[in-house]
Amino acid sequence: MIRALALILLCQLLGEAGARAAGLPIPGPVLGMALLWGLMSASGTLADLVRPVGEGILRHLSLLFVPAGVGVIGHLDRLGPQALALGAAIVASTALAIAAGAGAFVLVARLTGSRND
Amino acid sequence: MTEFAEIWSYLARGPLVWLTLTLLAYVLADFIAEKAGRRPLANPVLIAVTLLGAMLWASGTPYATYFEGAQFVHFLLGPATVALAVPLHAQGARLKKAVLPVLAGVGVGSVVAVTSALAIARALGADAALLATLAPKSTTAPVAIGIAEGLGGSPTLAAVLVILTGITGALIATPLLTALGFKDWRARGLAVGTAAHGIGTARAFQVHPSAGAFAGIGMGLNAILTAIIAPAILRLFL
């Protein structure tokens, strides 16, 4: 477990350093994810090592957003007189983006014959 | 009573109290969500945040004090993002067969998320700084903060809008996608991850493993894409 955790942190570290060094707009952990994905694809041993720990962290992904979420409560008044505009924009645009994204995926999947199996 | 006050003031100085309460609030919230059959409205993030917010308010604890304990949980967001490689690796074969639909879904979802948010907010009277803050709201928090700052928006408010967007996506995705008749878990997950980043992805994992993996892909690609397109789209609204 410690080895898997060390590997995950190492990927994040390399991702952060790489993104910063190259001035990429990509967040370090996303680059680290790509790196770990590459390593897991290259080596079955590494994939078996990381899998249980990775699944363990992700099983409670929701928990990790709680501290930031609590911070939001104290800042709700910062929305101020624009709260209505922001609230409407967030709810409507999130719904539109979900519907449009899913629609585009299904449409192109049908056109290219990419089936869900 | 003085004893309790003394013990409390001793404990409240360290990170243990709020770290413990964060985990306990989540355990309780997850239990409630489970009992409610994982219905979207019984979102564990929303329940835990409400519980903790009430506790902070009742005890008069500032957020900075709370965060000293909660930062250990918050820190794991980075490693968890890296760990998304695990489901992506597991779904690798299915992903390879769906490269074009994935790119189309993320591309359309990303453009619609930014454009529609800016159009609605401007129609309702939001000013330029607020539009810059709102533009990256569908991306994961560290990216959104960076983009908002670069565009002349407020980083703190950007983080708030990101969380609100994530919770909104997690709450509405299931009923919305079901009402529209989408049955493909890949499409459902990808759309939610694109529009509602990690909180949407967490919800997708609760619903279906392939929805979760595709949500992770959507979140990662959207972070990159929004960083590229948000400045150009924002210019159209200024």
φ and ψ at residue B138, rounded to 5 degrees? -85, -5
Q: Which of A60, A62, A78, A91 to mutate to test the interface with B (most CBs of B within 10 A)?
A: A62
List of residues 6+ apart from A109 with CB closer than 8 A? A115, A116, B98, B100, B101, B184, B186, B187
Tokens at residue A78, please? 């910062």
Judging contacts by C-beta atoms under 8 Å, the chain B residues touching residue A85 are 120-121, 124-126, 130
CA distance B104 to A101: 8
Top-confidence residue, B5 or B115 = B115
Q: CB–CB of A65 and B163 under 8 A?
A: yes
Domain boundaries, chain A: 1-59, 68-117
Judging contacts by C-beta atoms under 8 Å, the chain B residues touching residue A1 are none
Q: Where are the alpha helices (DSSP H) in chain B?
A: 2-11, 16-35, 44-59, 63-75, 77-83, 85-90, 92-96, 99-123, 128-134, 141-151, 155-179, 185-207, 209-236
Q: Among A10-14, A24-28, A112-116, which stretch is predicted with the lowest mean pLDDT?
A: A24-28
The number of angstroms, rounded, from the C-alpha of B65 to the middle of its chain's C-alpha atoms is 23
Q: CB–CB of B143 and A58 under 8 A?
A: no
Q: Please give, rounded to a whole number of angstroms, the shortest distance from the CA of B13 to a CA of chain A.
A: 18
Q: Among A1-10, A15-24, B1-10, B27-36, which stretch is predicted with the lowest mean pLDDT?
A: B1-10
Q: pLDDT band at B140, cuts 50/70/90?
A: confident
Whether residue B1 has pLDDT greater than 70: no
Residue B226 buriedness (CB in 10 A; 0-12 / 13-18 / 19+): buried
pLDDT score at A27: 78
Q: CB–CB of B105 and A108 under 8 A?
A: yes
Radius of gyration in angstroms for the set of CA atoms belonging to chain B, rounded to a whole number: 19
CA distances from A50 to A41, A55, B54 (A): 12, 8, 38
pLDDT score at B150: 86
pLDDT score at B13: 75
Q: Among A70-79, B111-120, B158-167, which stretch is predicted with the lowest mean pLDDT?
A: A70-79
Q: CB–CB of A82 and B125 under 8 A?
A: yes
Whether residue B16 has pLDDT greater than 70: yes
